Amino acid sequence: MADSDSSALYPPASARVASAAAEADATNLGRHYPHRKLLVGLGLMMVASFGLALLFCGGQCPIRSERFLVTYGYNFFYTTGLWLANGYPSEWLNRKADWTGHPLRRFLITLTFSLVMSLLVIVLVDGSFRVFYHHQPLSTLTWRPFVLPLLITVVVSLFLHSRAFLMGWREAAINTERLQKENAQAQADSLRRQLDPHFLFNSLNALTSLVEEPDPARAVGFIRQLSQVYRYVLESREQEVVSLAEELRFVEAYVALQRTRLGEGVQVSLDVPPGAALETLLVPPLAVQLLVENALKHNATSRHDALRISVRLDVAARCLTVRNSRRPRRLAEGESTGLGLRNLAARYAFLTTQPLTITETETEFIVVVPVLELA
């Protein structure tokens, strides 16, 4: 039978095993399957405790002997308790206090949690064995047997949490760099699309026709709108977001240019509240225009069966819907890269967690984009 002081031998090695198992379990096993994670963890604790019991007994006591079972019990309850006390609170802290946002505060909180929870486990396990197995009063419990196991637990826990912090910081840096690259590529692609020679050539051809007409005022208005379109493109290329009011003014100028060329073959309606409400709402530059252009590029226009495009803002839901009737037409090779919507989705992913949604039916093509709010 193990005496009362022998319990002090077990916690240090148990603490190492518990902390190592906690790290492996918290980072790799069943992140999305909590029951599987718990069962696997308990299995690891049982195996580790059995190995430690064999080590401590040194082959001098049979596996079925009382001394071996008591030793196994000490190790199992220590390892399991320390694993639960350090693993699950760490996952909870990951949701409440981010490493990358406030590393010093998270470090101090982690250290406090590790000390308090580990101390509770050690006191509970050692005190329970003293009272229920050794039949000693709880008053015989002293602080000295707890110092070494608690110190080892904290050191190992801090090492593993530091490693988790560095890995999380590295992952966050990689994700940020990737999103910035995708955002830059998307913006460059969007700008390239707007400055596409086809749009400029078509606009110049339309301008030539207007100049030949006896109404110079219409030609002057067309030139001003064309200038407004290209000025907006150049001025917004360095901005991540613009006000929805600016974007819609740009869209109106762009649509006016297209209607000069296409006439009654395209009908565009803007269903948005007037005035100052649009100034506090934000979208990526050229986002709405890209959706209108996408509808014009992929659909045929006809005076007898006009292509209808509607832009509607839902202020309460903070979303903007662009829908167009479907009149599919065959595109020339190289006319469409198929990257426009994907790049727009990447730009939104850089700005918000709200997704861009696309719905396609036999008669309509609908895109809903989030609208951001000025803080």
Task: Take residue 170 and report the two structure tokens written for it.
Answer: 């590295």
What would the pLDDT profile of 252-308 be if each residue is shown by its tens digit? Answer: 988 888 888 888 888 999 998 876 678 889 998 888 988 998 898 888 888 888 899
- Count Cα atoms within 13 angstroms, Cβ side, for 111: 9
Q: Residue 12: pLDDT above 60?
A: no
pLDDT score at 231: 86
pLDDT score at 283: 92
- H/E stretch holding 311 reads strand 307-314
Q: Residue 205: pLDDT above 70?
A: yes
The whole-angstrom separation of Cα 349 and Cα 358 is 15
CA–CA distances in Å: residue 84 to residues 41, 153, 191: 9, 13, 53
Mean pLDDT, range 235-264, rounded to an integer: 86
Q: Residue 65: pLDDT above 70?
A: yes
Name the β-bridge partners of 307: 266
Q: Residue 216: pLDDT above 90?
A: no
- Count Cα atoms within 13 angstroms, Cβ side, for 57: 25
Q: 3-class secondary structure for 336-374?
A: CCCCHHHHHHHHHHHHCCCCCEEEECCCEEEEEEECEEC
Q: Find, among 287, 337, 342, the residue nearest to 311 by Cα.
A: 287
Task: Take residue 291 and report the two structure tokens written for it.
Answer: 């959706």
Q: Is the distance from CB of 241 to CB of 351 less than 8 angstroms?
A: yes
pLDDT score at 274: 76
Q: Is the dihedral of CA 230, 231, 237, 241 positive or negative?
A: negative
The whole-angstrom separation of Cα 266 and Cα 284 is 25
pLDDT score at 98: 63
Task: Take residue 280 and report the two structure tokens written for it.
Answer: 């506090």
Q: Residue 319: pLDDT above 60?
A: yes
What pLDDT band is residue 1 in, cutting at 50, 70 and 90?
Answer: very low
Mean confidence (pLDDT) of the chain: 76
Number of Cβ atoms within 10 Å of the Cβ of 220: 12
What would the pLDDT profile of 43-61 be if each residue is shown by its tens digit? Answer: 887 887 787 777 777 667 7
Domains by residue range for the chain, with CATH: 36-193 (no CATH), 197-329+339-373 (3.30.565.10)
Name the β-bridge partners of 373: 281
What would the pLDDT profile of 325-369 be if each residue is shown by its tens digit? Answer: 998 887 766 556 667 788 888 888 878 888 899 999 999 999 999
pLDDT score at 343: 80
What would the pLDDT profile of 19-45 be if each residue is shown by its tens digit? Answer: 434 444 444 444 445 577 777 777 887
Mean pLDDT, range 193-220, rounded to an integer: 72
pLDDT score at 69: 82
The whole-angstrom separation of Cα 222 and Cα 206 is 9
Higher pLDDT, 111 or 99: 111
What would the pLDDT profile of 145-155 be if each residue is shown by its tens digit? Answer: 667 777 777 77
pLDDT score at 129: 79
Residue 249's SS3 state is helix
* Angle in degrees, CA 77, 78, 82, rounded to 5: 115
pLDDT score at 3: 42
Residue 312's SS3 state is strand
pLDDT score at 9: 37
pLDDT score at 20: 38
The whole-angstrom separation of Cα 60 and Cα 2 is 13
Q: Find, among 164, 88, 84, the residue nearest to 124 by Cα.
A: 84
What pLDDT band is residue 77 in, cutting at 50, 70 and 90?
Answer: confident
Q: Residue 68: pLDDT above 90?
A: no
pLDDT score at 113: 77
